[in-house]
Structure formats: C-alpha cells, structure tokens
Amino acid sequence: SQTIHQWPATLVQPVGSPLSLECTVEGTSNPNLYWYRQAAGRGLQLLFYSVGIGQISSEVPQNLSASRPQDRQFILSSKKLLLSDSGFYLCAWSRGPSMQGYTFGSGTRLTVV
C-alpha cells in the first residue's frame, strides 16, 4: 500500500533562518506531488506541484522554493524565513492528472519567531 511521510511534525525557527521540509512517498511510482500551506483559520493554498523529477510548478509567488530530486521525494525550502511563512504545511500525492487517490501527509506546523 502507498504511504506518505512528512517531517518534522513541528518546527520553530527564527526569522531569517533557512527551512527544509521533506516529504517522501512509498508504494507508488511517478506520483504527482504537492505542497500546500494552511494559515491559521484559513483554507488550503497550493504552493507547488510536481509531475516528475525536476519538474516544479509554482502557484503562488513567495519566499519558498521546492525541489524534487528523486521520484518520490519532494522538498520545500526557504533561504530566509519570514514571519508570514508561519503556518501548517501539508504534502500530498495523487495518481496522475485525474488526481485519483489524493493523499495528504500528516503536516508540519511551522512557527517563525
């Protein structure tokens, strides 16, 4: 069966520090991968999606970047965190453009102080 792992679960980082959140998927190949952010009390906002290794699409201009160095690995990064980067970050995967089997990771709660 397919599983998705996301870590860390919580993170407190000072303003200006770098960020690296990692997401890996097991049990499938060539998944579509997504990074979402959910600000407190708000809905989900798609940040990045990837349909293959090295292929990253950005939905929202921001202080963040994403990379997909391997088929089942998706990394969210920042060189210098801003206070506004605080939020709940979720990784997800799906099978192809039909988005069958949309599955979320457990999320990372990031607090920038």
Partner 1 sequence: KNEVEQSPQNLTAQEGEFITINCSYSVGISALHWLQQHPGGGIVSLFMLSSGKKKHGRLIATINIQEKHSSLHITASHPRDSAVYICAVKAPPMDSNYQLIWGAGTKLIIKP
Q: Which residues bind partner 1 (CB under 8 A)?
A: 32, 34, 38, 42-44, 46, 49, 51, 57, 59, 88, 90, 92, 97-104, 106-107, 109
- Residues paired with residue 108 on neighbouring β-strands, in sequence order: 89
Query: Considering the complex, what minimum distance in angstroms separates the CB of residue 79 from partner 1?
Result: 26
| Closer of 63 and 106 to partner 1 (Cβ) | 106
Query: Considering the complex, what minimum distance in angstroms separates the CB of residue 56 from partner 1?
Result: 12
| Closer of 18 and 102 to partner 1 (Cβ) | 102
Residue 14: partners with Cβ closer than 8 Å, 6 or more residues away: 81, 112, 113
| Closer of 7 and 88 to partner 1 (Cβ) | 88
Query: Considering the complex, what minimum distance in angstroms separates the CB of residue 46 from partner 1?
Result: 5
Query: Considering the complex, what minimum distance in angstroms separates the CB of residue 31 from partner 1?
Result: 12
Burial classification of residue 11, based on how many CB atoms lie within 10 Å of its CB (0-12 exposed, 13-18 middle, 19 or more buried) = middle
* Residue 9 near residue 89, CB atoms below 8 Å: no
Q: For residue 75, which phi and psi values (nearest 5 degrees)?
A: -125, 135
Say how far apart CA 57 and CA 14 lie, in whole Å: 27
